[in-house]
A and B are shown apart, each in its own frame.
Chain A
């Protein structure tokens, strides 16, 4: 257990150090939060996730994923992935809250392709053992994931526009109250006093939190229909030798997702999700006559999932078409949110191929994620 704690502390410190070197970021706090860890394409490419079919969760500026399986005898996690979303590191001169929410005010339509700009890049480090030679295999993977199309329900769009309008109305009213509190001309004639007064006003004029959280709650609702894309590339190294590097895999896939909201509460978290996936995979990990050979695969499949606030249950089936033989992956999945910081994941079923194809996995995911905090905001006492 000590080793696990040491590794966690290492990554927290490493993360802090890395961010502190960036001008953009000052990681005063790296919080364990929002456990829906992004299942990185870099992980999925190597079939190292309980599910092959995943929908991206909310984009974080930076997230570190660790998958720790109970089957690892020494308990030390061996699989790590780093996800980051470049969108959150740049300024956006023409961005507005409605545009961010996926609505174009100019043509009064949804921005169905609007999330492409929030594509995420991932890197993964995965250690496995060759089942025949028992040699250590170190895999390095890079992945790109993006939401190609996202379509919200008409009601959600109406709710977004109304919540945005209510929020602006609330800001405008507060602006008027601020005018009654401080003479705006002080901003030009005595800026020091003006800024003190602004801070004093906001300390007194606490807003109604409920109405202002509304927009965020609506944005958290799932799109009715979405198409997500991902690309991944992997290279592996045998016996911890750099000279023993080989092409591992390249994959590109599209996932279609349809979500039924099965909750009486509009902001409830209960959904029934249907997914369909199409994937091209070039695999260079099989050995023939002592040489690594490339094989091309085409995967097609689907997944049905009941998703509730704390637990989700799913079944997925993927058919793999290749020039040599056809095979399939079929497995059930369980995710349980133990707390805000811990997610229990389990999977059982059959993996691709005819040998060593049992999926039997019970593990804990935990995630380290951060926004890119920098400015320090302090309220006047």
Chain B
């Protein structure tokens, strides 16, 4: 009989994070593709894509169900109540807003895509605004 241990730090936990992220991205793509298919008059495909997107929510949340027993897939903070979860979201918004989007904007500008750079900068500013709001909630 195998020794009983938690998910934290396991390869399975990493795989659950991957499943969570991949399914979230797939559902978002399917939702966008459904809109495009509907515009093209491909009603049957639009309905199938929409079903895929809506069904995806169960798959996304299913992986998160497992991760609840260890930690948030991005921040690593335990999923243990609204206050802890708020800290997790602040962690991600700060990571994206204070580092990631600024780097992406610089890269886009260097490669000659000023509109994409402006998009990343717009996201960076939104993240700063959201962070302010979330931190205020944390203060409360």
A and B associate in one complex: no
Which residues on A are within 8 Å of B, measured CB to CB?
none
